[in-house]
Structure 1
Amino acid sequence: MGGALAATLGSLLYPAMLGAQKVSSAPERVIATPPTGPLTLADRDFVVKVRSAGLWEYPVGQMALKKRTTRAVKIAGEHLIAGDASLDAACRRTAGQLNITLPNQSSPQQQGFVSRMNAESGKQFDTDMATTLRATNGQTLSTIAAVRSTTRNSLIRALANLANSTVLDHITVIEKTGAVDFDQALLEETAQPALPAQETAPPPPVAGQPQVVLTPPAGNTVSTSPSTR
């Protein structure tokens, strides 16, 4: 997986992602009161979710550049890489300012997505990539809306704004590949949780381990504002 390295902190109880059970029993509970506004469990969990999503989408974007069978899939890969790198930088900045520890790996479920797609090729890869990303980004969009409408922290609002723009762009370019199985994507997006929380929450970082950084592509010219092409 491409990416430069920097430094990290210790461990934290992480939230769940796609199909996950809720880790926080009281998401509205305030856990800190920084100058930027009260920080709740839901706010903290959102930052971790953003980080975890980028950690698996970024390598899938790299795969798309190598495995794609159409130009549209290549464009989707470029947007995934550029968008997730930019959002990851904002996420790490926000986490540092709010003293939130971030994972260095995505959840076991998300790592499973990457492993599965790594073994695929041709149209099978295109369809699996597009359908899975459409489902996960669709669910993430709902999460962003919930956090953006309830948070009282200005840094979380700013991160949610950027995440919303990035996810909308990803959804748009993914749909333009023509490879999305929308029936399957909707099923995956709305299905009841089937996996235990330990499968859907990213593991805490190892103490002293360098922090993984998602680096933007050299000479990047991709606009990650929602595409209307």
Structure 2
Amino acid sequence: MQISRNMIGTVVVGGALTLTVSALAYPSMLGLDAVSTSGDRLIANTQWGPFTESDRAFVVAVRAAGLWEHPVGLIGLQKGQSKEVRTASQHLVDGHAALDETCRKIAPLLNVTLPNIASPQQEGFVTTLKTAQGKQFDVDFANILRMTHGSIFNTVAKVRSTTKNTLVRTLADQANDTVLDHITVMEKTGLVDFDTTLFTQTTPPKLPKSDMTPPVPPAGQPLVVLPPPPNATSTPADLGPAMNGLPAGGS
């Protein structure tokens, strides 16, 4: 069964399929009165290199992605009808637990406030998949997750190719590997409708900024931790080289 373009359009209303970095920044937390339309605006010169609005927004975007995809992976492990969907679900939980740990490690070093709840659109995806049953769950799961990962993939590449901050670069390296892995396992389900997915991925709906922004957590609220599975194969990034200003894997 193939998911229709109308079906995806309905899902889009309940949850965004794209993450725009400019909409995910928390300017007030760093004392900025206004956000430049350019993500290149400098926030701070750190010991790990210049830190820009795009850098900060990327760290928040990685965190927000895990806050809805990790729970969806847990849902898929319970509701997935096919072995391929359950395997993809395992990859979601495994990959985002490791990615989130890296994100939580670098955020305080860069003075980034992380959300504890995903954006309203992303929460809409979770609601959609909680409601779907049987084979329809598998179809919705594969297409929604393929679409969202395809949308963020270009953003990861752009950040990786332009950031001057070694901590952000390390996070982007890990995010690139994780997102590509998740794209691959979604495609291996055999359920992805590529025409519809790519159409929606390249022509996203225009939604209000409030729907695309994860809420700022109350002051002092502990960070939600995304636990790794018992048989985890993904590991957080080694920040040692980045802390010394070296490329990931450098010596």
1:43 partnered with 2:55: yes
What's the offset of the Cα at 1:96?
1.6
Once residues 143 and 99 of structure 2 are traced to their aligned partners in structure 1, the CA distance between those partners, rounded to angstroms, is 22
What's the offset of the Cα at 1:222?
6.3
Per mean C-alpha deviation after superposition, the further-off stretch among 147-156 and 18-27 is: 18-27
What's the offset of the Cα at 1:204?
0.6
Once residues 19 and 31 of structure 1 are traced to their aligned partners in structure 2, the CA distance between those partners, rounded to angstroms, is 21
Where does structure 2 lack aligned partners over 5 or more consecutive residues?
1-15, 24-34, 237-251
TM-score (norm 2): 0.79
Once residues 39 and 222 of structure 1 are traced to their aligned partners in structure 2, the CA distance between those partners, rounded to angstroms, is 27
Once residues 204 and 179 of structure 2 are traced to their aligned partners in structure 1, the CA distance between those partners, rounded to angstroms, is 22
Matching residue of 2:135: 123
Once residues 146 and 53 of structure 1 are traced to their aligned partners in structure 2, the CA distance between those partners, rounded to angstroms, is 17
Q: Which has the higher contact order (CA 8 A, sep 6+)?
A: 1
TM-score (norm 1): 0.86
Once residues 112 and 21 of structure 2 are traced to their aligned partners in structure 1, the CA distance between those partners, rounded to angstroms, is 21
Matching residue of 2:77: 65
Task: Report runs of 4+ in structure 1 exceeding 3 Å deviation.
Answer: 19-24, 221-224
Once residues 152 and 54 of structure 1 are traced to their aligned partners in structure 2, the CA distance between those partners, rounded to angstroms, is 24
1:53 partnered with 2:68: no
Trace 1:16-31 onto structure 2 (pairs within 5 A): 18=18, 20=20, 22-23=22-23, 24=35, 25-31=37-43
Matching residue of 1:9: none
Trace 1:6-155 onto structure 2 (pairs within 5 A): 18=18, 20=20, 22-23=22-23, 24=35, 25-155=37-167
Once residues 173 and 158 of structure 1 are traced to their aligned partners in structure 2, the CA distance between those partners, rounded to angstroms, is 23
What's the offset of the Cα at 1:135?
0.8
Once residues 234 and 20 of structure 2 are traced to their aligned partners in structure 1, the CA distance between those partners, rounded to angstroms, is 32
Once residues 56 and 155 of structure 1 are traced to their aligned partners in structure 2, the CA distance between those partners, rounded to angstroms, is 24
Once residues 22 and 137 of structure 1 are traced to their aligned partners in structure 2, the CA distance between those partners, rounded to angstroms, is 18
Q: How many residue pairs were aligned?
A: 209
1:210 partnered with 2:222: yes
Greater gyration radius: 2
What's the offset of the Cα at 1:172?
0.6
Is the 2:64–2:117 contact (alpha carbons within 8 Å) kept by the matching residues of 1?
A: yes
What's the offset of the Cα at 1:118?
0.2
1:188 partnered with 2:200: yes
| CA distances 1:197-216 after superposition (whole Å, capped 9, x unpaired) | 10011111112222101010
What's the offset of the Cα at 1:21?
8.4
Is the 2:22–2:54 contact (alpha carbons within 8 Å) kept by the matching residues of 1?
A: no
Is the 1:106–1:203 contact (alpha carbons within 8 Å) kept by the matching residues of 2?
A: yes
